Amino acid sequence: MSSLSVDHFKENKDIRVWVTPSETKPLPSRADEASCPPCIKSMSKGPCGDELIESFLCFQKETQNVSKCSESFTILRECMYKYPLKYYDPLFKT
Instruction: For 35-61, write each residue's pLDDT tens digit.
Output: 667 777 777 888 998 998 888 888 888
What distance in Å separates the CA atoms of residue 35 and residue 44, rounded to the nearest whole number?
12
Tell me the pTM: 0.57
What distance in Å separates the CA atoms of residue 91 and residue 54, rounded to the nearest whole number?
18
Where are the domains positioned within the chain?
26-92
pLDDT tens, residue by residue, 78-91: 998 898 888 777 66
What distance in Å separates the CA atoms of residue 22 and residue 45, rounded to the nearest whole number?
23
Return the closest-CA partner of residue 34 out of 51, 50, 56.
56
